[in-house]
């Protein structure tokens, strides 16, 4: 049985674009998660999500690991991007789409075994 911290590390390493949020992309359970996931969806790439309301152990442990106290949390290629305010600012100035598309492209290249 793996620990919560190990599960979090595995989720972050296995998913190039990952959002920890309250609710799901189709049914966000908080306004900040709703705004963040909308910005992420507008980039047009696939991403993984974890509903922290369904995972109280992750909800308790992740802020300690990430050194970030709130949700949502967007992780791209193993790095914490930030929460709602940061993601929205990046979305408005075009940085988010570039970050997400670049990560998705690298993940696709890795999956196909192409080292371009």
The full set of domain ranges for the chain reads 4-104
Instruction: Identify the CATH number of the domain defined by range 4-104.
Output: 3.40.30.10
Question: Residues comprising the binding site for glutathione?
Answer: 22, 59, 71, 84-85
Mean pLDDT of 100-115: 82
Residue 1 has pLDDT above 70, yes or no: no
pLDDT digits (tens, 9 = 90+) for 42-62: 999 999 999 999 999 999 999
Question: Residues comprising the binding site?
Answer: 22, 30, 59, 71, 84-85
Q: How far is residue 26 from each of residues 36, 45, 90, measured CA to CA in Å? A: 12, 15, 22
Alpha helical stretches, state H, 15-113? 31-41, 56-66, 84-93, 95-111
Question: Residues comprising the binding site for [2Fe-2S] cluster?
Answer: 30
pTM assigned to the model = 0.93
pLDDT for residue 115: 45
Residue for token pair 């190990």: 6
């Amino acid at each position: 049985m793996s620990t919560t911290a190990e599960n979090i590390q595995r989720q972050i390493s296995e998913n190039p674009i990952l959002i920890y949020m309250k609710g799901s992309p189709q049914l966000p359970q908080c306004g900040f998660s709703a705004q963040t996931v909308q910005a992420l969806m507008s980039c047009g790439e696939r991403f993984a999500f974890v509903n922290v309301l369904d995972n109280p152990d992750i909800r308790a442990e992740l802020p300690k690991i990430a050194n970030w106290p709130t949700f949502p949390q967007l992780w791209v290629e193993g790095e914490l991007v930030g929460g709602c305010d940061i993601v929205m600012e990046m979305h408005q100035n075009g940085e988010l789409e570039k970050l997400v598309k670049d990560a998705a492209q690298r993940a696709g290249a890795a999956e196909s075994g192409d080292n371009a």
